[in-house]
Amino acid sequence: MRIIGGRYKRRILRPPARLPVRPTTDLAKEALFNLLNNRIDFEAIRVLDLFAGTGSISFEFASRGALSVVAVDKHPSCIRFIQNTAEELNLSNLHAVRSEAFRFLGFCHPGLDLVFADPPYDMQEKGRIADLVFERQILSEDGWLVVEHGEGREFVGHPHLVEQRKYGRVHFSFFRE
């Protein structure tokens, strides 16, 4: 796993093999950040990364200078890896929180500029993420929700869906108010 851009560009991160994760491929991550680069100012955003896993997406935002990045995952080993790596890189803008993602959304404060969610591809209640983010008004006025998912899940018809992109087997759905 590598960081693609920002201060730690090209830095290789080696998460333990035993983590219960499916990291976003470098190809898909690079495509995602190229899209986001044209839509947001990385140095002026507050980010929430749900189902953070290895923290790959969180490290990208932190490396690019995000004001704050909160990485949420329920697995203690994932949180330990993210915390240890953030300390090693001296990333004071990255904080890891051990919590179940839907529970965290229940008490999450509004005003986030970007929420990224990469739930397990086989998770049945994946569609609830977008519903909760908008019901709880978690995003700032110009905020984005990005959900990574596999081929089996489409959000067509969701009132906040802006577009969907596909990179290999990885799909990204973009939502706004």
Task: Name the least confident of 41-50, 68-77, 97-106, 116-125.
Answer: 116-125
User: What average pLDDT does this structure show over 45-64?
Assistant: 96
How confident is the model over 56-76, as pLDDT tens digits? 999 999 999 999 999 999 999
List the domains of the chain with CATH numbers.
26-175 (3.40.50.150)
How far apart, in whole angstroms, are the C-alpha atoms of residue 77 and residue 80?
A: 5
State yes or no: pLDDT of 126 exceeds 70.
no
Global pTM value: 0.94
User: What average pLDDT does this structure show over 71-92?
Assistant: 96
For residue 125, is it left (φ>0), alpha (ψ between -120 and 50) or beta?
alpha
Q: Give the model's pLDDT for residue 160.
A: 95
- Out of 54-63, 120-129, 155-164, give the one with best mean pLDDT: 54-63
How confident is the model over 1-13, as pLDDT tens digits? 889 999 999 998 8
pLDDT band at 124, cuts 50/70/90?
low
Sign of the dihedral through C-alpha 142, 55, 19, 30: positive
Q: With contact defined as beta carbons under 8 Å apart, do 110 and 137 qualify?
A: yes
Q: Which of 12, 11, 57 is nearest to 36 (CA)?
A: 57
User: Within 13 Å of residue 50, how many CA atoms lie on the same side as its CB?
Assistant: 28
Q: With contact defined as beta carbons under 8 Å apart, do 64 and 13 qualify?
A: no
pLDDT band at 105, cuts 50/70/90?
very high
